[in-house]
Amino acid sequence: MQGLERDYSIASGPEDTPLALLIRHVPGGALTPFLASLPPGADIDFSGPRGHFAFRPSDRPAVFVATGTGIGPFAAMVRSGVRDFLLLHGVREPEDVCYEDLFQSAAREVVHCLTGQGSGQSPRPVAFPGRVTAYLETNLAQGAYDFYLCGREEMIRDVTLLVDEAFPGSRVYAEIFFSGPGD
């Protein structure tokens, strides 16, 4: 697709080959149907990187908050050796969860925040029926944290406001990857 560009997050670690991207196929989208039709090993052009979303070790506990495919950069962080964090992954349905085994082996706790019709019927070990913001408001102990946010612009805005109000002394690092329709 000559000239068509999209930003995608790398989900592989620095030593991993091949390069892994987490891309949600959007039927009728401008680029993902084309990508899904490519045979394994097909050549595609890349540019970048453009972002600076990286883990910064500190004495504060890390809280990773992702919605949808915003989980990809956190997979890269785990594959780079990051451990002992709380992961909140907001998705509609249990089948939207990604990299579960990877995160279960590295995280202190993994919570899937489910917002779809089946949100109360998850087979996942820890599932919360609601948005990541609702989980933070009702379940995260007061204190100072390093919040890493990746996903929809609205989630990042809402969590940042919540952190400012309820978790003084915390830091927020964010990567907005989706702010409107498309793929």
**Domain presence at residue 179:** yes
Q: What pLDDT, on a 0 to 100 scale, did the predictor assign at position 150?
A: 95
Structure tokens at 56: 């910064």
pLDDT band per the 50, 70, 90 thresholds, residue 40: confident
**Residue range 85-89: mean pLDDT, rounded:** 97
Say if pTM beats, i.e. exceeds, 0.95.
Answer: no
pLDDT band per the 50, 70, 90 thresholds, residue 31: confident
Tens of pLDDT, residues 121-155: 545 557 899 999 999 999 999 999 999 999 999 99
- Inform me whether the pLDDT recorded for 182 exceeds 60: no
**Domain presence at residue 133:** yes
Residues 6+ apart with CB under 8 A from 16: 79
Least confident of 33-42, 44-53, 147-156: 44-53
Please count the structural domains in the chain. Answer: 1
**Residue range 69-97: mean pLDDT, rounded:** 94
Cα–Cα nearest to 72, from 24, 131, 107, 21: 21
* CATH code for the domain in which residue 106 is found: 3.40.50.80
Q: What pLDDT, on a 0 to 100 scale, did the predictor assign at position 121?
A: 55
Structural domain boundaries, residue 34: 1-40+51-183
**Domain presence at residue 67:** yes
**Domain presence at residue 168:** yes
Q: What pLDDT, on a 0 to 100 scale, did the predictor assign at position 22?
A: 79
Q: What pLDDT, on a 0 to 100 scale, did the predictor assign at position 123?
A: 53
**Domain presence at residue 165:** yes
Mean pLDDT of the chain: 87
**Domain presence at residue 46:** no
Strands 62-67, 86-91: pairing is: parallel
**Domain presence at residue 45:** no
**Domain presence at residue 107:** yes
Backbone conformation region of residue 117, classed left if phi is above 0, alpha if psi is from -120 to 50, else beta: alpha
